[in-house]
Amino acid sequence: MKIAVCLKQVPDTEAEIKWDIPSGTLKRDGMDSITNPFDEFALEEALLTRENYDGEIVAISMGPEKAADVLRNALALTVNSVQQISDPAFAGSDTYATAYVLAQALKKIGDVDVVFTGKQSTDGNTGVVSAELAAILGWSQLTYVAKVRSIDAAGKKIVVERAIEGGNEVVEAKLPAVVSVIKGINEPRLPNLMGIRKAAKVEIPKWNAGDLGVDTSKVGAAGSCTKVVEIAVPPPRGAGEILKGEIEDIANTLTDKLIDLKVIK
């Protein structure tokens, strides 16, 4: 089975975020970066799939030069190969442009049975690249996956549980499939020291727009049809009221105030 996993480098969720205004892109220089937390679950699911069914894993990441770090981490966790997708022309790509580039990369890799992605990134937070990728490729679109029940590469079939409103939907789908996973699907493992040492020495192969046959008029800030027109700091919430006094009185006041909102039925 050929397993692909898409990884994104994002600013550390604890980091202070700086925007480049007015271009609307992130100032990624000098910011601590990590593998998108949701993608760690995707990577672990790829590793588990290989353990359960055999096969090879190729990890890909689209992003600037320094995003090679996330692929090094994937190598330390023993993925079979990695491929960085990087080109100045890609900077500022919106979700569709990103999905289009990733689709070109997956086609070039060839014969992929299943692609794992995280549910969303913690920086862009859009949560739609996976679905767009599936639609562009015409592959099965399996989002919000909480459990992979079985994968039958020979029979070209996968069965998953999707965590949607009110419960889990069990879906059988044809392969190839793009599977976006949620937190809690597994417990991501950590790389060991030997893996890290080995990965440090590997040259990370890179594909640019030309290698992928990407039409550069469709990507990057210029080619994307969604344009950022304004970045603002949301108005602060009005100063709140601290209720003071005996618990009895506080509880009395608060319950009155909440009942007055006429929300409790």
Partner 1 sequence: MANDVWVYIEHKDGAVTPMSFELLGIGKTLADGLGSGVCAFVVGEKADDIAKEAFAYGASKVFAVEGAEYKGFRADAYSKAATSLLDKYKPAVALFRATSQGTDVAAASAALLGFGLCTDTIGLAVDGGKMKMTRAAFGGNYTVSVVNEKAVPQIATVRPKAFAMPEKDASKSGEVVKEAFSVAEADLNTKVLEFIQSATAVNLVEADIIVAGGRGVGNPEGFQLIKELADLLGGAVGASRAAVDSGWIAYEHQVGQTGKTVKPKIYIACGVSGAIQHLAGMRTSDCIVAINKDPDAPIFKAATFGIVGDYKQVLPKLIEKFKGKLGR
| Contacts (CB under 8 A) with partner 1, residues 122-181 | 122-128, 131-136, 139-144, 159, 161-174, 177
C-beta closer to partner 1: residue 30 or 240 = 240
Tell the smallest beta-carbon distance from residue 79 to partner 1 (Å): 23
Span interacting with partner 1, options 62-70, 75-83, 199-207, 251-259, rule CB under 8 A: 251-259
Tell the smallest beta-carbon distance from residue 256 to partner 1 (Å): 8
Q: Residues of 76-93 as b/e, b for ≥16 C-beta within 10 angstroms?
A: bbebeebbbbbbebbbbb
Tell the smallest beta-carbon distance from residue 204 to partner 1 (Å): 27
The one-letter amino acid code at 119 reads K
How many other CB atoms sit within 10 Å of the CB of residue 185?
Answer: 23
Separation of alpha carbons 49 and 44, rounded Å:
8
Which string of x and - marks every residue 190-209 that binds partner 1 (by CB under 8 A)?
Answer: --------------------
Which string of x and - marks every residue 96-115 that binds partner 1 (by CB under 8 A)?
Answer: xx-x----------------
Tell the smallest beta-carbon distance from residue 71 to partner 1 (Å): 22
Q: Cis bond leading into 37, ω under 30°? A: no
Separation of alpha carbons 15 and 214, rounded Å:
33
C-beta closer to partner 1: residue 75 or 101 = 101
Span interacting with partner 1, options 60-68, 188-196, 203-211, 238-246, rule CB under 8 A: 238-246
Token duo for residue 258: 């909440």
Q: Cis bond leading into 188, ω under 30°? A: no
Contact 113, 2 (CB under 8 A): yes
Span interacting with partner 1, options 57-65, 69-77, 121-129, 199-207, rule CB under 8 A: 121-129
Residue 14 φ then ψ, to 5°? -90, -10
C-beta closer to partner 1: residue 8 or 162 = 162
Separation of alpha carbons 218 and 225, rounded Å:
9
Of 45, 33, 5, 3, residue with least CA distance to 184: 45
Residues numbered 14 to 43 that lie near partner 1 (CB under 8 A) are 17, 19, 24, 37-38
Judged by CB under 8 A, the residue of 39, 45, 87, 94 near partner 1 is 94
Contact 104, 213 (CB under 8 A): yes
Count of residues that bind partner 1 according to CB under 8 A = 82
Tell the smallest beta-carbon distance from residue 134 to partner 1 (Å): 7
Residues numbered 51 to 70 that lie near partner 1 (CB under 8 A) are none
Separation of alpha carbons 123 and 120, rounded Å:
9
C-beta closer to partner 1: residue 68 or 142 = 142
C-beta closer to partner 1: residue 46 or 185 = 185
Judged by CB under 8 A, the residue of 184, 189, 200, 205 near partner 1 is 184
CA-based Rg of the chain, rounded to a whole angstrom? 22
Token duo for residue 172: 């059988």
